[in-house]
Amino acid sequence: MVKLIALTPCAGLLPITHGGVEVTEVRPERLMSVAPYAGQSKATSAKLKEQIGEGLSAVMCRAGAVTWFGHGTWLVAGEVALDGVAAVTDQSDAWAVVAISGAGAEDVLARLVPVDLRAGVFKKNHVAKTMLGHMAVTITRTDTATFEIMVMRAMARTLVHDLDIAMRGVAAR
């Protein structure tokens, strides 16, 4: 009988370090997509606040337990029960999540992302849905010199490759 072994999206690819910048894999326990039904945004927010201590963000660009994910959808870290007020789907296995950190992280991402991620513009907990190379990604600044990048699981190898090339270029300066 064949034994299957569960692997993370970046198994065997990370960590990598070049010139003081490091990329590591982040393994979220549970990621749930939450899309409130028509007219149920307030009820969904109230139920989320009750269950996990945070409702739907009015700002729609900040990360936390509930992160705006575009067009009436939020990504919730943790399991929630929102019967009757929102569509909820488990997205835990669908995403590869990496953290890039170090003094040159902004410079690395500037080579790949068409969004200004400098600290004065893109502050801690800000979220951007954008492109990294040819891939659709979600980027969150989690600390002064740290970002989390989410990409569809199938693009994990490409993400790590593109980050590695950009890191080498920045390190070679």
173 residues of the chain, pLDDT tens digit each: 889 888 999 999 999 999 999 999 999 889 999 999 999 999 999 999 999 888 887 655 556 688 888 889 999 988 899 999 999 999 999 999 999 999 999 999 999 999 999 999 999 988 899 999 999 999 999 999 999 999 999 999 999 999 999 999 999 98
Whether this model's pTM surpasses 0.85: yes
**Interstrand relation of 86-90 and 95-101 (parallel, antiparallel or unpaired):** unpaired
From 3.30.1360.120, 3.90.650.10, 3.40.50.880, 3.30.565.10, which CATH number describes the 16-28+94-172 domain? 3.30.1360.120
User: Is residue 98 within 8 Å of residue 160, measured between CB atoms?
Assistant: yes
| CB within 8 Å of 81: residues ≥ 6 apart | 47, 51, 88
